[in-house]
Structure 1
Amino acid sequence: MGFSSKEDKSKRILRGFKTLFFLITMLISLLLFSAPLLLVLTDALLPSALLSTLSPSAFSLETLASHFQNYDFRYSLIDIPLVSIIRSFIIFCVYSLCDGPRLSHGPYLGITTMCSVLSLIFVSFKAVYIFSGYVRATEIALFLCSSALAVGHVVVAYRTSCRERRKLLVYKIDIEAISACKNGYPRYPKIPQEERIK
C-alpha cells in the first residue's frame, strides 16, 4: 500500500510538471506569434502611464483641454503619448488588414518603418528643447521609452515579414512537391514487370 501511494504521488508530481511545461510553452509561442499586437498594446499604454506619474491628472478631460489650449512644442509633454497612440493605431490597422503575402512583402513593414522613423524624428526634435533645461528622470524615461518602442516596432515588423516569407517558401515547396507527385515523376519512366523479374 505504501509503495502504491508513493507511485501515485510521483505520477501526480510528474503530471503537474508536464502541465506546467505545456503552459509555459504555449505562453512563449503566444508571445512570439503575437509580438506585434503585444508591442502595439505596450506602445499605447506605457508612455501614457509614464506621463501620468509626472502629472497624475494628465488625462482628465479638463487637464487635456488645458494642455491642448496652452500647447507649446518646447515645453508640453502630452504629445509624446499621443504620438505613441497614433503610431500604434496605424500599425495595428495595417497589421490587421494584411494577410500572409502582404505581411511578407507588402505594406506592413514599409508603413511600420515610416511611422517609426517619423515619430523618432519628432521625439528627437522635441528632446532638443526639453533637455536644454532642467530635466527629471521620468521625462528622460518617457523619451527613451517612446524611442525604444519605435525601434521595437521596426524590429518586430522585420521579423514578422521574414517569418511570413519562410512560411510562403515552405508552402511553395509543398505545392511543387504535390504537383510533381501528380505528374507521376516523368523523369523516371516505369520499368516493365517482365524486366523487373529478370
Structure 2
Amino acid sequence: MASTNEALCCRAWRVAKTLFFITNMLASLLLVCAPPLLVVLVDLLLPSTLLVAVNDPASSSPLFSSQLREFRFRDSLVDLPLVSLTRSLLILCSYLCCNGWEPYLGVTGVCAGASAGYVLVKAIAMFWPDPVFGVKEGSRVEALFLSSLTLAMAHVVVAYRTSCRERRKLVVYKIDVEAVSLYNNEFHNYNKITLSK
C-alpha cells in the first residue's frame, strides 16, 4: 500500500515538474519573441481571475451574468475585465496588423489611456464618497483596479520597446543597403583586379 502511494506521489511530482517546465518555456518564449502577446495574455487572464476572487467562487458565473444584467457604474465590477478584454483585443489586432510599426504604438497609447481614465473615474466614483466594500473585500477590489492600471502601463512600455526595436531594424537595414550600393558603385573594379591576379 505504501509503495503504491509513493508511486502515485512520484508520478504526481513528475507531472507537476513537467507542467512547470512547459509553462516556463512558453512564458520565456513569449517574453523573448513576442512580449506584446505575453502582456495581452496576462491582461486577459488576471482581471477575470481577480473578479472571481472578489466574488464568491462557488457562484461566480451567476454573479457575472447578473452583474451584466443589473450593471450600475458605482457598484458593479464586471466592467473592469471587459475593459481589459477590449483593450487587449484592440492592441492585439493593431500589433498583428502593424507588425510593430508606429500605428501600433499610437493605438496602444490611446487604448491604454482611455482604459486607465475609465478605471480611475470608476475608482473615484466607488471609493471617494463612501466605500462600498468592507476591508477584506476592499483589498481585493483595490488589487483589481491596480492590476488594470498596471497592465495598461505595461502595454504602453512594451509597445514603445517594440517600436524602438523595429526602428533599429530599419536603421540597420538602411545601413546595409547603403553599404551594398556603395560597394557595387565604387569597388566593382576590385573584384576584377583580384580575379586577374
Name structure 1 gaps, 5 residues minimum: 1-23, 194-198
CA–CA separation in structure 2 for the residues paired with 1:50 and 1:98? 31
CA RMSD of aligned residues (A): 2.4
CA–CA separation in structure 2 for the residues paired with 1:138 and 1:122? 19
The reply on whether 1:144 has 2:140 as its aligned counterpart is no
* C-alpha deviation, 1:58, in angstroms: 6.5
User: Which of 97, 107, 110 matches 1:114?
Assistant: 110
What's 1:43 paired with?
A: 43
The structure that has the greater radius of gyration is: 1
CA–CA separation in structure 1 for the residues paired with 2:93 and 2:52? 26
The structure richer in helix per residue is 2
Give per-residue Cα distances to partners, 1:68-123, cap 9 Å, x unaligned: 22110011000001100110001001101123xxx23x310000000000001100
CA–CA separation in structure 2 for the residues paired with 1:122 and 1:57? 29
When residues 78 and 26 of structure 1 are mapped into structure 2, their CA distance, relative to the original with a 3 A threshold, is: closer
Alignment partner of 1:183: what SS?
helix
CA–CA separation in structure 2 for the residues paired with 1:41 and 1:26? 12
Pairs aligned (count) = 161
When residues 27 and 85 of structure 1 are mapped into structure 2, their CA distance, relative to the original with a 3 A threshold, is: closer
The reply on whether 1:93 has 2:88 as its aligned counterpart is no
When residues 89 and 27 of structure 1 are mapped into structure 2, their CA distance, relative to the original with a 3 A threshold, is: closer
What's 1:76 paired with?
A: 76
State the AA in 2 paired with 1:161: S
TM-score (norm 1): 0.74
Percent identical across equivalent pairs? 47
What's 2:155 paired with?
A: 153
Aligned 8 A contact 1:116 1:151 in 2:
yes
Name structure 2 gaps, 5 residues minimum: 1-23
CA–CA separation in structure 2 for the residues paired with 1:27 and 1:46? 15
When residues 92 and 70 of structure 1 are mapped into structure 2, their CA distance, relative to the original with a 3 A threshold, is: same
When residues 27 and 89 of structure 1 are mapped into structure 2, their CA distance, relative to the original with a 3 A threshold, is: closer
The reply on whether 1:181 has 2:177 as its aligned counterpart is no
